[in-house]
Amino acid sequence: MRDQSQVARVLLSAASALILAAAVAGCQTTTARGPDVTGSVGGPMAARAEIPRDGDARVPTDALGERYRANPRDPDAAIRYGQALRINGQRAQAVAVLEAASLANPNNKSVLAAYGRALADNGNFKQAFDTLSNAHTPSNPDWRILSVQGTTLDQMGKHDEARRYYASALKIVPEEPSVLSNLGLSYMLTKDLGKAEQVLRRAHAGAGSDPRIRQNLALVVGLQGRFAEAESIVKADLPPDEAAANVAYLKQMLSRGDGSRQGADNDAAGLSRRS
């Protein structure tokens, strides 16, 4: 088993990348209950992540951009264009578009939600949290926004506070896999691997074959030194080539040492997921 200090370094870098990806992912994939917020890692294991890597297909933005430029004050046009930019990894441009839309529509909660998620994409976590706070109200809370707020708090190192937001979201949607996954990643950040595994197993049980929740569970199992079990998790029900790619990426994540911080940041910068 690897040296404990190395495990800690890998854990912190990998979990930070996963939490960042969760914040990055706002409102891009829809489940039966609506968009979800599960964190994700990059590489082959994130083959279904919404922001493509170099060489992958990108979302066409010409028509959306033309519609937005024809009427920049149109909230729906701004949200759709901003989301497409985020899917393509154009985070700063998405922030600019949605910031302008929020100034033109200061009371539009959908615009504020999209703007807050774009800010989280871009690493502006405090501003994202504050913006998202204005995108819903205590009397009518949005569980998706609560979960994204939790991810921003985790990125700011406020883990106890983040977990209160996840708990609030789970009161609205008990056992929601996406929220549970974010909660599990929060425990990873504080090196509570046993608790992280427990929560991620609950998420996995409710999410069926969701590849991103499965890969999060595999990572936390692997970080505890149970690589054979982690390998079986990422290979389950997959074609041989995809299973091999997932295992190779899991090995890469688990083998990082002192240089893992930059590598994890690069992974997070190259993908996005849901919220």
- Report the range of poorest mean pLDDT among 20-29, 93-102, 113-122, 172-181: 20-29
Gap between the Cα atoms of 243 and 8, Å rounded: 26
Domain count, the chain: 1
Could you tell me if residue 263 is inside a domain? Answer: yes
**Global pTM value:** 0.76
Could you tell me if residue 122 is inside a domain? Answer: yes
Q: Decide which of 207 and 257 is more confident.
A: 207
Domain span including residue 23 = 4-269
Gap between the Cα atoms of 92 and 102, Å rounded: 15
Could you tell me if residue 146 is inside a domain? Answer: yes
Alpha helical stretches, state H, 1-137: 4-24, 62-70, 75-87, 91-104, 109-121, 125-133
Share of the chain above pLDDT 70, in %: 71
22 contacts: CB under 8 Å, gap ≥ 6:
37, 38, 39, 40, 147, 148, 151, 181, 182, 185, 273, 274, 275
In this predicted structure, the answer to whether residue 127 has a pLDDT above a threshold of 50 is yes
pLDDT given at position 59? 84
pLDDT given at position 208? 67
Could you tell me if residue 274 is inside a domain? Answer: no
Could you tell me if residue 93 is inside a domain? Answer: yes
Neighbouring CB atoms inside 10 A of 223's CB total 24
Could you tell me if residue 159 is inside a domain? Answer: yes
Helix (H) or strand (E) run with residue 253 in it: helix 240-255
Residue 35: phi and psi, rounded to 5, are: -60, 145
In this predicted structure, the answer to whether residue 85 has a pLDDT above a threshold of 70 is yes
Average pLDDT over residues 128-148: 96
Residue with tokens 């939490």: 19
- Here the CATH number for the domain that contains residue 78 is 1.25.40.10
pLDDT given at position 246? 85
